[in-house]
Structure 1
Amino acid sequence: MKILLMFLVLISCTTVQAEPTNAKAAAAQEAAAALQVNEEYDALIKTLSPAEQDWEGVLQENLGSFYLPIHKRQKVAGHSNAWDYINDAPDLPRVLLIGDSVSRGYTQSVRKALAGKANVHRAPANCGPTSLGLKKIDVWLGNGDWDVIHFNFGIHDRNTSVDDYSKRLEQLVNRLKNTKAKLIWASTTPIPDDKTKNQKAISIVERNEAAARIMEQNAVATDDLFSAVTPHLKQMQNPNDVHFNAEGYEFLGQQVAESILKAINP
């Protein structure tokens, strides 16, 4: 019995000691893979036109530690994404999408729906809350002469007071109005109740109501994505998540494209 106990202790100690080694090995592999992607990305950038290189520089400064590595991996793999450089067709209107990860999710669907009808650009960020918008709006607008700007702030403001949210949103609307572009506000899509994330579904309803008042006062058109997608949440929204599946993003992209077409061809 004593020998058996000693044997079990020895096995236990061996297992505990192996875990850090495995973790270190995994971390080393991850670091090596990231280094290779960075090297391939840097080499790829050198082959691009000056305009494309400038755009990649803007993305490097603004995408952040979460989205930039994803973007780099996709570029190296030759995959298209929401932050592709857009080589404008000069005879088509220029459209800018501003919004969070939900907006990122439907960007490609909007481009597909408006192919040959509009040049669809995306702000170089996950645009997050209104507080970030006030800091970064000039970067997101860039030097572009925009015909239409389709924008949203909401999910990341779910715990911002409605009063502060309203004040910031109104400031953003005033800044966007200065561009002389046609503005389209997208109502924020629904979120589920989730105590672990400190989020309540009603918070989006409240902020959509506040935003609706601001848009009415400023004569800004509304793309009511909240109402459009709500009947389809079971089918289109990921379980217990604010994000959508492929079908959901395709649906939202079509809705956004239709609202943009109305602005282009009133």
Structure 2
Amino acid sequence: MERRKAIKLIGLFGLASCVPTKLSSQVVNNTCDICKNAWESLGKFTRRRYQFRYIKPYTNLPKVFIYGDSVSIGYTEYVRASLKDKACVYRLHTNGQSSNHFIARMEAMRKKMFQPYLKGGWNFQWDAIHFNVGLHDLKYLAGKKLDKENGKQVSTLKIYEDNLHKIIKYLKANYPKAKLIFATTTPVPEGAEGRFAGDSIKYNKVALNVMKQYPEVLVNDLFTFSVPVLKEHGVKKGDVHYKAEGSRLQGIQVSKKIANAIGIKPIECPSTDIINAQFKAYESKKKN
């Protein structure tokens, strides 16, 4: 994209913040630098990647949290764009990986960012938590490499089931006011490296049986939604990831589920050109 066009696109939509400048006086507290510094100390992604940048919390907007793998990283910015001026949307400071990592990574963020662990830190509660684990549970690894012939599966169905119970109990105990939304695991295509096609269906069956025991947890069937999206907008044959338009469509779907859960209305999601221009502008600035 030409630089002039990119600048024009950014001007139309603005470098994404959760709210306009006129609401700056309504930040939750006046110690944003403390929180921003703490956030950026969570890992390398938070210091340079657009999806992981620090988002200021505002008192008059709901606080939404996304936990997930690289697929969720892809759609995060489109959720933010769809809920612009409607909610402050955060995501985990890193790739969520398998269900084995969920609680530890949530705790790392909680103890880094929230009061009383951080003096002058966040003191709000999440209004909604949209979460998914599974794509990294069903993969096969030989050492650190994907290998479905010689590798070992990260989590058996039984381990995955047990972990989901632990995760939900953890979320309910620590974030009792949050609307919990579980997203089913996105599809594994034929020929995927380190993963078998059809395993998403097996793991989602287990997950949905677990969710039946917690009727208060909403379900976003992102698997069913993503089947045609992957066919049309997959990165390449055998890849579990999506091109920008695929991530945009997923982001719109996720934003609808979140908005419905907390009683807000999403706006029209901008094009991938606009979001990509924001990516480039932000990350180019970080490199300089």
Partner residue of 1:110 out of 51, 56, 79: 79
Residue in 2 aligned with 1:165?
A: 160
Shift of 1:123: 1.1
- Structure 2 gaps of 5+ residues are 1-31, 115-123, 139-152, 265-288
Which amino acid is the alignment partner of residue 49 of structure 1? D
SS of the residue corresponding to residue 134 of structure 1 reads helix
Partner residue of 1:228 out of 205, 225, 229: 225
Shift of 1:49: 2.2
Partner residue of 1:183 out of 177, 180, 184: 180
Which amino acid is the alignment partner of residue 82 of structure 2? A
Shift of 1:73: 4.9
Shift of 1:194: 3.0
Q: Structure 1 length normalisation: TM-score? A: 0.72
In the alignment, structure 1 residue 82 sits paired with structure 2 residue 51? yes
SS of the residue corresponding to residue 251 of structure 2 reads helix
SS of the residue corresponding to residue 120 of structure 1 reads strand
In the alignment, structure 1 residue 261 sits paired with structure 2 residue 259? yes
Q: Is the 8 A contact 2:63 2:127 kept in 1?
A: yes
Residue in 2 aligned with 1:52?
A: 36
SS of the residue corresponding to residue 235 of structure 1 reads helix
Q: Is the 8 A contact 2:47 2:53 kept in 1?
A: no
Residue in 2 aligned with 1:145?
A: 125
RMSD between superposed Cα atoms in Å:
1.8
SS of the residue corresponding to residue 185 of structure 1 reads strand
Distance in 2 (CA, whole Å) between partners of 1:124 and 1:232 is 26
Distance in 2 (CA, whole Å) between partners of 1:241 and 1:198 is 10
In the alignment, structure 1 residue 155 sits paired with structure 2 residue 139? no
- Structure 1 gaps of 5+ residues are 1-47, 61-67, 75-80
Partner residue of 1:97 out of 44, 63, 66: 66
In the alignment, structure 1 residue 209 sits paired with structure 2 residue 178? no
Shift of 1:72: 4.7
Highest relative contact order (Cα 8 Å, sep 6+), 1 or 2? Answer: 2
Residue in 1 aligned with 2:96?
A: 127
Residue in 1 aligned with 2:283?
A: none
Residue in 1 aligned with 2:270?
A: none
Distance in 2 (CA, whole Å) between partners of 1:73 and 1:162 is 36
Distance in 2 (CA, whole Å) between partners of 1:127 and 1:257 is 19
Measured against aligned partners, the alpha-carbon deviations of 1:90-118 in whole angstroms (never above 9, x if no partner) come to 10110000001101110000000000111
Which amino acid is the alignment partner of residue 184 of structure 2? S
